[in-house]
Amino acid sequence: MSRNVGIASRLKRNKITEVVASGKRMDGRDLLDYREIQIKTGVLEKVEGSAEAYLGKTRVLVGVKFGKGYPFDDTPDKGVLMTNAEFTPIAHPTFEPGPPDERSIELARVVDRGLRSAEILDMKKLCLVPGKSVYMVHVDIYVLSYDGNLIDCSALAAIAALKTAKMPVYTVKDENVKLTKKTKAVKILREPLAVSIVKIGDSLLVDPSADEEEVMDARITITLDEKGNVCTIQKVGSVGFTRDELKTAVQIAAEKVEELRKNV
């Protein structure tokens, strides 16, 4: 993130790097410890699915809305899954109202790619009339409080919300699509969850806080499904990773994702 690195954060950086190099962290965690995870589902009434995830002081609300709409031209027989992320100005002093910036676009796209490339929904089953009418699934990520690691937190909330969602049932007669009062559970084929690992100095650590994200050298986010397959990777930050560090990162992610999975 291209924030100005001022004097204060350079001091912060030195301190955090020093502590991390000794194998500890400012908040007392070990390098590979997540903060306390809490997930509540069904927190909203007007949506088909919702979940709120807490990762320490990071708090994300996800609402899942089902509707009907037109398919994309290149996939006329598939439903549409869209993920959007919004940073609310109440979440952190550095968040300002306005059009989505790089960070919220990245958050939405990384979570979106996690859901999409893992093919969590059978998109063909979400088609009502080929070429004319399909289910639209909107996953809206709403960041309510920011203390680092938004991607992992959002992926948890998104999966929890989709798993508990009840989708509306439509009847199709001669291409006429009618909404019924019935609902059914959403069938989830895979459960991709994200593990973000940041590099500070020569150390790799999971679940970065806002301070750690501010001073980190680089970050890699790895999304894995329940079988341990890798679904999405995203590397950001102004430093590279060596081949060995990447191998270690995938191992850490594969281990940590099991821990996260217990929460959804």
* C-alpha–C-alpha distance, residues 130 and 113, integer Å: 24
Element (H, E) at 180: strand 176-185
Distance of CA 102 to the CA centre of its chain: 15
Cα–Cα distances (Å) from 62 to 67, 115, 127, 141, 212, in that order, read 16, 14, 24, 5, 25
Amino acid at 173: K
Q: Which two tokens stand for residue 164?
A: 């508990």
Nearest to 161 by CA among 136, 183, 139: 139
Q: Which is nearer to another protein, 48 or 106 (CB)?
A: 106
* C-alpha–C-alpha distance, residues 216 and 202, integer Å: 11
Q: Which is nearer to another protein, 166 or 235 (CB)?
A: 235
Q: Which is nearer to another protein, 37 or 222 (CB)?
A: 222
Q: Which is nearer to another protein, 117 or 203 (CB)?
A: 117
Element (H, E) at 2: none
Instruction: Examine residue 258 and tell whether it contacts another protein (CB under 8 A).
Output: no
Instruction: Examine residue 176 and tell whether it contacts another protein (CB under 8 A).
Output: no
List the end-to-end C-alpha distance of the chain, in Å, as a whole number: 29
The span of 101-109, 123-131, 156-164, 207-215 binding another protein (CB under 8 A) equals 101-109
Instruction: Examine residue 225 and tell whether it contacts another protein (CB under 8 A).
Output: yes
Nearest to 206 by CA among 18, 1, 34: 34
> Minimal distance in Å, beta carbon 68 to another protein?
23
Sole binder of another protein in the list 46, 173, 243, 262 (CB under 8 A):
243
Instruction: Examine residue 264 and tell whether it contacts another protein (CB under 8 A).
Output: no
Instruction: Examine residue 189 and tell whether it contacts another protein (CB under 8 A).
Output: no
Sole binder of another protein in the list 230, 259, 261, 263 (CB under 8 A):
230
Sole binder of another protein in the list 56, 59, 241, 256 (CB under 8 A):
241
Amino acid at 166: K
Q: Which is nearer to another protein, 119 or 259 (CB)?
A: 119
Instruction: Examine residue 4 and tell whether it contacts another protein (CB under 8 A).
Output: yes
Instruction: Examine residue 246 and tell whether it contacts another protein (CB under 8 A).
Output: yes
Instruction: Examine residue 82 and tell whether it contacts another protein (CB under 8 A).
Output: no
